[in-house]
Amino acid sequence: MISFDAAHAAVHYPPDRRFRIRIRPSFLIAAIVLVLLPVLAAWIELLFFGLPHIPPVPQIDPNDFAGPPGFPLWVRYCHFFNFVFLTMLIRSGLSILVDHPRLYFSNGCTPGSEWIRLTPIHVPTDRVWTAKDDARYISPIVATPGYRHTVGVARSWHFLDVYGFILTGIFFVIMLFDTEQWRRLVPQSTLVALQAWNTWVHYATFHMPPELNGYFGYNALQQIAYFAAVFVFGPTAILTGIAMSPAAVNRFPWYAKLFGGRQSARSIHFLTMLSFFAFIVVHVTLVVMTGFVRNMNHIVMGTDDRNHLGIILGFAGIGVVVLSWVAAHYASWHYPRFLQHAQKFITHPLLLTTLNRLAPSQHYTEQDISPRFWPNGTLPVREDWKQLAKGGFQEFRLKVGGLVDNPVELSLADIEKLGNAQDITMHHCIQGWTGIAKWGGLPMKVLVELVRPQPNAKVVAFFSFGGSLYGGSYYDTQTVENVLKAECLLALEMNGKRLPEEYGAPLRLRVENQLGYKMVKWIERIEFVESEKTLGLGEGGTNEDDEYFDLLPNI
């Protein structure tokens, strides 16, 4: 239990910590049917034809085994480290998920259209309900770092571990095909499918199939399951993760459509996590049921005997994994800045050379505009903003200064005269929701040309009338390079009308290759500075300072 001060306790440890899972009935019925049909078919085969025959050796060639005997050291090490990275990805992924505890197959994310929600709350219609309001608490026992509104630290863990997961997987696959070990996992005959079904009939009707010695090979159902875990679940998790990148999706909209859309990719990502979890549960259960001591010696010691050393070291390894969860929890709350910097050290150079180079190029129509766009952030409470709002922001003047040769003060009318571009784009929130809207406003490229930044001005800082989660004014930064990209606007309009107050009036930033928290709302002034390190705590923005968000969130 972390000792929070009053401000942090109100955010991370709310009074309402109820947890509910509600699945849309049509999806629940479809899932039940998909599970029951193969079970029913297995029972029908048993009742009418009896248990099918399963040969006593792996079914590739009746006179040959499916692969070489034993598990070399590299297999055993990959097995352990994959378990470490996968469990941390699941735990950090759960913390990310509950910051927007709804999953959709539609990019609009309209409340009520979700196929599953992990909250008891129906979105109220009698008041403004933001995406931040909708986030839920999750216990740190099951998630890293747990609690509520910890998506910044959770993302640090998720990305740090995903590199380990990918590198382990690449090494495993290379070694797999560099040796004869691939024969264990890759089906090489249609007989495998037949015998996998026969094996399923045994399991589904509560009959244990003939037990093979896993040291020499797997039964057909095991082979298909292991093949799916390595060659289907892993790549699907990676590819759907990329499909949630604003930089990738807004440059290549067709890519997300391969999965049915950006929100479909998020749902498939979640279902892949459940598939990994189900695989682990079934795998461990069968390891225990089919000769626990001998099986542990196989994968821990690389021997085929009943010595108890394998089970002792195996439990020690599991203990190390559990301790890593505890250590991650401790680090999350005592050294979050270190985690943020560690992720930045690894990720930032990679993003600069890949996703950040992509120029947004979206092709949405007015028919694609979301019927409801989630609001986020609370309206400014400053009296000067309230007075400006009462007057329709006619008295508002945007101050643009800092390291520029031509500082200016611009009214909304002045800004409109400078130029007006219209873009229909998809907004990507760090919490997970998306929304499509039409934005109208001044291209930042025009403003940059007007104020003429000095050579040492590398960063643009946007200061808001609005407040931050823990108090103080909100600000964020962009590189000059990014504000010069296509579709980067100072938006005055949303969906053909003057920008509503809850969405950022009088001005908000649109920068379509990044996540939404970088798109400052209720903009008061803009300054060109030498580096983000000269502002706030030096991390690049209020969320970066206080919630350990990414400086460059292209994904």
Domain borders along the chain are: 16-347, 364-546
Tell me: pLDDT of 303 over 50.
Answer: yes
Tell me: pLDDT of 68 over 90.
Answer: no
Tell me: pLDDT of 62 over 50.
Answer: no
CATH architecture of 364-546: Alpha-Beta Complex (3.90)
Tell me: pLDDT of 128 over 50.
Answer: yes
Separation between Cα atoms, residue 57 and residue 137, nearest integer Å: 50
Q: Please identify which residue in the block is written with the tokens 């807004």.
A: 250
Supply the DSSP symbol for 216: T
Q: pLDDT tens-digit profile of 131-189? A: 999 999 999 999 999 999 999 999 999 999 999 999 999 999 999 999 989 988 999 88
Say what the pLDDT of residue 70 is: 87
Q: Please identify which residue in the block is written with the tokens 């929304």.
A: 435
Say what the pLDDT of residue 554 is: 97
Separation between Cα atoms, residue 428 and residue 63, nearest integer Å: 55
Say what the pLDDT of residue 5 is: 87
CA nearest 360: which of 245, 446, 468? 245
Q: Percent of the chain, pLDDT > 70?
A: 98
Separation between Cα atoms, residue 109 and residue 431, nearest integer Å: 12
The residues with which 442 forms a beta bridge, in sequence order, are: 490
- Reading phi first (left if > 0) and then psi (alpha if -120 to 50, else beta), residue 545 is in alpha
Peptide bond into 360 cis (omega under 30): no
CA nearest 431: which of 148, 164, 239? 148
Instruction: Give the pLDDT band (50/70/90) at residue 211.
Output: confident
* pLDDT (average), residues 535-555: 97
* pLDDT (average), residues 211-229: 90
* pLDDT (average), residues 256-270: 97
Separation between Cα atoms, residue 32 and residue 504, nearest integer Å: 44
Identity of the amino acid at 28: L
* pLDDT (average), residues 531-552: 97
CA nearest 328: which of 168, 95, 555, 135? 95
Separation between Cα atoms, residue 288 and residue 275, nearest integer Å: 20
Say what the pLDDT of residue 438 is: 97
Q: pLDDT tens-digit profile of 320-344? A: 999 999 999 999 999 999 999 999 9
Say what the pLDDT of residue 56 is: 67
Q: Percent of the chain, pLDDT > 90?
A: 88
CA nearest 513: which of 485, 532, 541, 491? 485
Q: Is the CA virtual torsion 279, 280, 285, 287 positive or negative?
A: positive
* pLDDT (average), residues 55-82: 75
Mean pLDDT of the chain: 94
Instruction: Give the pLDDT band (50/70/90) at residue 60.
Output: very low
292 three-class SS: helix
Instruction: Give the pLDDT band (50/70/90) at residue 58.
Output: low
Tell me: pLDDT of 126 over 70.
Answer: yes
Q: Which of 74-78, 192-196, 415-419 has the lowest mean pLDDT?
A: 192-196
Angle between helices 25-49 and 191-204 in degrees, nearest 10:
100
Any residues with CB less than 8 A from the CB of 341 and at least 6 apart, and which?
none
Global confidence as pTM = 0.94
Instruction: Give the pLDDT band (50/70/90) at residue 386.
Output: very high
Parallel, antiparallel or unpaired: strands 398-402 and 523-529: parallel
